């Protein structure tokens, strides 16, 4: 990340301006929160392909609640609760139904996207003309307002990052998560309730995806029927680039945050340099392949 920042700062002087850096932080916020939830799931040895759909569904649900004249805090809470319910459904399929995480969350991806399409009628859910000016201003402030020049979502993910780092590193739940990801059978024999821990992890990831959806909707003051499409891969990218092992049992919240910023900084720097969006996909895809390959080589050496 430091190398990328250094290169773009030399190539494009506008990259290092305070306004652009604040813009990077704002665009990264959704990916950061999503990546933190994804990191917990991958550390447990699982995967969640439905988080992008949860982002769109939670954001649209938040907008619908606002159109029903609910206050911003209640609508935001409703969006997060929607994400929590989706996470619980994923957790149920993975644990009590015994489905592979890939299959369970792929099914969840289609289910949640389908619910979003039904809920929105396949159209964009917008709130700008349906709520009072005060509510609109509060909603916009949540998504893109600034305090001391720093976007509000940056404060939100910073507080979340500290809390989730503590949860992962200094609690029984966090230690159990690492144990399950490293060796689920050994964890079970040591008295850890694997299914209970995994269920909580998918609920947590869904809730964080719900929050990402709320912030995205607040930034756009709407949510499209395709909102959040592909975001799960951005979350996986950020998590893997941030050092979380795809085989489970290794990773950190800080690494996920850094990985998400790598995505945001690359996109911003490439846009400033006029790189075609199609080539951006090629570059990001190559980086994640290299990151996974390096992780594979490191795992082999450790064994």
Residue holding tokens 């159109």?
67
Q: Other C-beta atoms within 10 Å of 90: how many?
A: 33
Question: Per-residue confidence of the chain (303 residues) as pLDDT tens digits?
Answer: 888 888 888 888 888 888 888 888 888 899 999 999 999 999 999 999 999 999 999 999 999 999 998 999 999 999 999 999 999 999 999 999 999 999 999 999 999 999 999 998 888 888 888 888 888 899 999 988 999 888 999 999 999 999 999 999 999 999 999 999 989 899 888 888 999 999 999 999 999 999 999 999 999 999 998 888 888 888 888 888 888 888 888 889 999 998 888 888 888 888 888 888 788 888 878 877 887 787 777 767 655
What whole-number distance in Å separates Cα of residue 285 and Cα of residue 289? 6
* Structure tokens belonging to residue 1: 């990340």
What whole-number distance in Å separates Cα of residue 35 and Cα of residue 81? 19
3-state secondary structure 6-51: HHHHHHCHHHHCHHHHHHHHHHHHHHHHHHHHHHHHHHCCCCCCCH
* Structure tokens belonging to residue 104: 């369970």
Which of helix, strand or coil describes residue 222?
strand
* Structure tokens belonging to residue 249: 């049992």
Nearest 5°: phi and psi at 171?
Answer: -130, 160
What whole-number distance in Å separates Cα of residue 51 and Cα of residue 109? 7
pLDDT value for 198: 95
């Amino acid at each position: 990340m430091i190398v990328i920042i250094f290169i773009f700062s030399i190539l494009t002087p506008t990259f290092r301006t305070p306004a652009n850096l604040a813009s990077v932080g704002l665009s990264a916020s959704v990916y950061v929160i999503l990546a933190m939830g994804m990191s917990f799931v991958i550390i447990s040895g699982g995967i969640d392909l439905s988080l992008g759909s949860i982002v769109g569904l939670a954001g649209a649900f938040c907008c619908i609640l606002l159109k029903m004249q609910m206050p911003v805090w209640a609508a935001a809470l409703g969006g997060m609760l929607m994400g929590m319910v989706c996470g619980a459904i994923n957790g149920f399929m993975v644990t009590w139904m015994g489905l592979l995480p890939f299959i369970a969350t792929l099914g969840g991806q289609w289910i949640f996207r389908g619910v979003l399409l039904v809920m929105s009628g396949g159209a964009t859910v917008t709130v700008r003309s349906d709520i009072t000016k005060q509510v609109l201003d509060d909603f916009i402030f949540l998504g893109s307002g600034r305090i001391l020049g720093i976007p509000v979502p940056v404060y939100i993910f910073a507080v979340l990052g500290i809390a989730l780092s503590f949860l992962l590193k200094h609690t029984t739940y966090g230690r159990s998560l690492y144990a399950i990801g490293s060796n689920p059978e050994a964890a079970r024999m040591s008295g850890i309730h694997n299914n209970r821990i995994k269920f909580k992890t998918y609920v947590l990831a869904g809730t964080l995806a719900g929050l990402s959806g709320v912030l995205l909707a607040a930034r756009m003051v709407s949510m499209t029927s395709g909102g959040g499409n592909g975001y799960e891969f951005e979350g996986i990218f950020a998590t893997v680039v941030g050092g979380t092992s795809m085989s489970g049992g290794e990773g950190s919240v800080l690494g996920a945050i850094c990985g998400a910023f790598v995505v945001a900084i690359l996109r911003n720097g490439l846009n400033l340099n006029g790189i075609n969006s199609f080539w951006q996909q090629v570059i990001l895809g190559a980086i994640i392949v290299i990151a996974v390959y390096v992780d594979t080589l490191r795992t082999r050496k450790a064994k």
